[in-house]
Structure 1
Amino acid sequence: MSIKTRTFAALSSAVALSFSFALASPAHAADAKAISVKDAWVRWLPGNLPAAGYVTLVNAGDKPVDLVDISSKDYGDAMLHQTVSSGSSQKMVMVDKLTVPAHGQVAIAPGGYHVMLEDAKHKIAPGDTVHLTLKFSDGETLDAPFAVKPPAQTK
């Protein structure tokens, strides 16, 4: 094989490789996670009392996505609840899903939606970090760290 032929072959391979990366880039961008979390924290309570998790879910995608399941390696049970007011009383109701609007966000915050965390699998205290796994209707799964804060914490 002549030098001219090898040079042409090398250049052809480089161009083909560059072209394939250029084609792959938009696909990679489309595969970026649409959902992210911010301000994730847990209000710890003493003893064996349930804790409550709070977070803001942000959807950078073009379509609404539902939060459909929550689990944790740190707790035996993790369930999405909503505090509902009825006159002078309040009650917690379990929620099957929570929609995060396209290009929007939803707050899971004190007084509204919250993640009820029961049956801690190990000792948990303020200053710790626990992890919750959030599953969405589009198939996305997100492992999110939650800072554990004392009972008086409101944010």
Structure 2
Amino acid sequence: MKNIILIVLSLIGLSSQAAELDQLSTENAKVRAVIPGAVNTAGYLIVKNNSDKDVKLVSASSPIAKRVEFHQHLHQGGLMKMIKLDNVTVPANGEVVFESGGLHIMFLGVDSTMANNKTANVRLMDSNGNELSVEFKVESIHQKIRHH
């Protein structure tokens, strides 16, 4: 009987964790097609958290790239540096903006055929192992977006 209660409680816990990630929504997800000869590019979006708990994003992946990472631009000593972040917290009832010149998603080792696609699927994973699938619009290198 104890085992059944523990299983039910575990399932309820997993269910509430998944519900937290379900409370995330995204807007304006876009990734720049790679420049000819390049293998890296950046992606931008807004992630909104409609729950009353912070959600920690710990990784991202996509079939268009060998690696997908969270990065942040920092101004230090008159220079702009880009650093890799291990995670990004989306605050309860708040949002995180991934944008050019700030927090962004780096796509490293991008498949050169990606430029032929209209969209790219990206999976964001939280600290509980839940995944959120986001469809990014692939934007031409000729569109005017400041790219780092």
- TM > 0.5 fold call: yes
**DSSP 3-state at the match of 1:123:** helix
Does the Cα contact within 8 Å between 2:29 and 2:137 map onto a contact in 1? yes
* Cα distance in structure 2, aligned partners of 1:126 and 1:58: 29
Query: Is 1:34 the equivalent of 2:12?
Result: no
Match of 2:144 in 1: 153
TM-score of the superposed pair, with normalisation by structure 1: 0.73
Query: Is 1:60 the equivalent of 2:50?
Result: yes
Tell me which moved more, 52-61 or 41-50.
Answer: 41-50
Match of 1:92 in 2: 82
Match among 49, 61, 77 for residue 71 of structure 1: 61
Cα distance change on mapping 1:61 and 1:77 into 2, 3 Å: same
Does the Cα contact within 8 Å between 1:43 and 1:153 map onto a contact in 2? no
State the identity as a percent. Answer: 31
Cα distance change on mapping 1:139 and 1:88 into 2, 3 Å: same
Q: Which fold has the larger relative contact order, with Cα–Cα distance below 8 Å and residues 6 or more apart in sequence?
A: 2
Match of 1:44 in 2: 33
* 1:69-104 alpha-carbon deviations (Å, 9 max, x no partner): 011111111111111111321111000011101011
Poorly superposed stretches of 4+, deviation over 3 Å: none
* Cα distance in structure 2, aligned partners of 1:71 and 1:143: 10
Structure 2 segments unaligned to the other structure (5+ residues):
1-14
* Cα distance in structure 2, aligned partners of 1:127 and 1:154: 18
TM-score of the superposed pair, with normalisation by structure 2: 0.77
**DSSP 3-state at the match of 1:63:** coil
- For 2:26, the aligned partner's letter is V
**DSSP 3-state at the match of 1:125:** helix
- For 2:130, the aligned partner's letter is E
Query: Is 1:113 the equivalent of 2:106?
Result: no
Match among 81, 84, 94 for residue 71 of structure 2: 81
Give 1:126 deviation, angstroms.
6.8
Give 1:31 deviation, angstroms.
3.5
* Cα distance in structure 2, aligned partners of 1:36 and 1:55: 10
Does the Cα contact within 8 Å between 2:34 and 2:110 map onto a contact in 1? no
